[in-house]
């Protein structure tokens, strides 16, 4: 193992959906650790993705289009000659009532959150599989894949499928390629208010987690970096939960004391 297993010098990392939110933080974290980063998204970032004097190369791409995925892979190989890490981060879906949402909406959600990561993984496979050190594919999953997600049926189902895909590819493509998913919990991002309301609402939602707060993208990016590094060399096919301990069981919320009743104070 190298002296600094988190030093990504000479490693090429592709991050999808990298212009904002979690994807941008992940791309920045790899830049900070000296990786060559290829970022892609449907629209160019308003500001370059950069850190410590290093800047990510950007390729405009809709990851639902196999030809555009192929263009990202080709550009990565043209620039650096290799692909060591793929982070399938692009995803998401607006809330929609399951009874009335259109089949076309469901198709788009599943295409973005499940089919696109599979297609991108297939596209990098020929490159990674011929490299002496293989490669790592990291799928950004969600707790929505393991619990009910009202108004997010297609999204939750797609994320559940992504965790299943992770296990399958790990067996099909190992040992040369490690495949992991990072199962993300509730985060405080620039769009948190769209889901949780004002600051009081964000605080209240955070109190439903074991750690008593929402996570932040930096904490997820650290886990992604770890998974891509030699420190995780015996990890593959796993879904790594990064969710602050998970949400409180609903029966506790139904009691008079709610969550605080089960969380001891400083004097305890």
Q: For residue range 85-129, list pLDDT tens digits in order.
A: 999 999 999 999 999 999 999 999 999 999 999 999 999 999 999
Rounded Cα distance between 125 and 75, Å, is 15
pLDDT of residue 199: 83
State the catalytic residue, choosing from 155, 195, 196, 262: 155
Is pLDDT above 80 for 224?
Answer: yes
Distances (CA, A) of 218 to 73, 96, 173, 212: 26, 29, 29, 17
**pLDDT of 190 above 70:** no
Would you call 155 a catalytic residue per the annotation? Answer: yes
According to DSSP, the residues that pair with 215 across neighbouring strands are 187
- Over residues 242-249, the mean pLDDT reads 92
Beta-strand runs (E) in the chain: 12-16, 36-41, 50-51, 54-55, 57-60, 85-88, 135-142, 177-184, 239-242
Q: Say if residues 116 and 64 touch (Cβ distance below 8 Å).
A: yes
Q: Quick one: pLDDT band at residue 268, thresholds 50, 70, 90?
A: very low
Average pLDDT, the chain: 93
In the predicted structure, residue 191 carries a pLDDT above the cut 90: no
Answer positive or negative: Cα dihedral of 42, 45, 50, 56. positive
Q: Are 214 and 156 within 8 A, CB to CB?
A: no
**Is pLDDT larger for residue 124 or for residue 198?**
124
Angle value at C-alpha 221, between 50 and 8, nearest 5 degrees: 65
Q: Which two tokens stand for residue 34?
A: 């000296």
The confidence score (pLDDT) of residue 258 equals: 55
Q: Name the residue among 116, 119, 141 with its Cα closest to residue 220.
A: 141
Q: Would you say residue 153 has pLDDT above 50?
A: yes
**Radius of gyration of the chain from Cα atoms?**
19
What pLDDT sits at residue 65? 98
pLDDT band at 201 (very low <50, low <70, confident <90, very high): confident
Indicate the pLDDT class of residue 61, thresholds 50, 70 and 90: very high
Q: Is pLDDT at 221 greater than 60 in this prediction?
A: yes
Report the pLDDT value the prediction gives residue 198, as an integer from 0 to 100.
80
pLDDT for the residue numbered 202? 85
């Amino acid at each position: 193992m190298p002296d600094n297993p988190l030093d990504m010098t000479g490693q090429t990392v592709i991050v999808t959906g990298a212009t904002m939110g979690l994807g941008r933080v992940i791309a920045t974290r790899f830049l900070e650790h000296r990786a060559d980063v290829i970022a892609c998204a449907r629209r160019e970032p308003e500001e370059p993705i950069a850190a410590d004097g290093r800047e990510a190369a950007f390729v405009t791409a809709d990851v639902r289009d196999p030809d555009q995925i192929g263009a990202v892979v080709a550009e990565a190989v043209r620039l650096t000659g290799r692909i060591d890490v793929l982070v399938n981060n692009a995803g998401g879906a607006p809330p929609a009532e399951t009874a009335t949402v259109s089949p076309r909406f469901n198709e788009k959600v599943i295409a973005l959150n499940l089919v696109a990561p599979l297609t991108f993984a297939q596209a990098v496979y020929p490159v990674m599989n011929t490299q002496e050190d293989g490669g790592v594919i990291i799928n950004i999953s969600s707790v929505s894949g393991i619990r009910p997600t009202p108004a997010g049926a297609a999204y939750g189902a797609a994320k559940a499928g992504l965790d299943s895909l992770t296990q399958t590819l790990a067996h099909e493509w190992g040992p040369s390629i490690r495949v992991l998913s990072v199962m993300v919990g509730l985060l405080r991002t620039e769009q948190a208010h769209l889901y949780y309301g004002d600051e009081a609402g964000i605080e209240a939602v955070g109190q439903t987690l074991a750690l008593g707060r929402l996570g932040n993208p930096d904490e997820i990016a650290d886990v992604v970096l770890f998974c891509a590094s030699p420190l995780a060399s015996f990890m593959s096919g796993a879904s790594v939960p990064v969710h602050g301990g998970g949400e409180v069981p609903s029966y506790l919320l139904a009691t008079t004391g709610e969550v605080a009743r089960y969380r001891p104070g400083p004097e305890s």
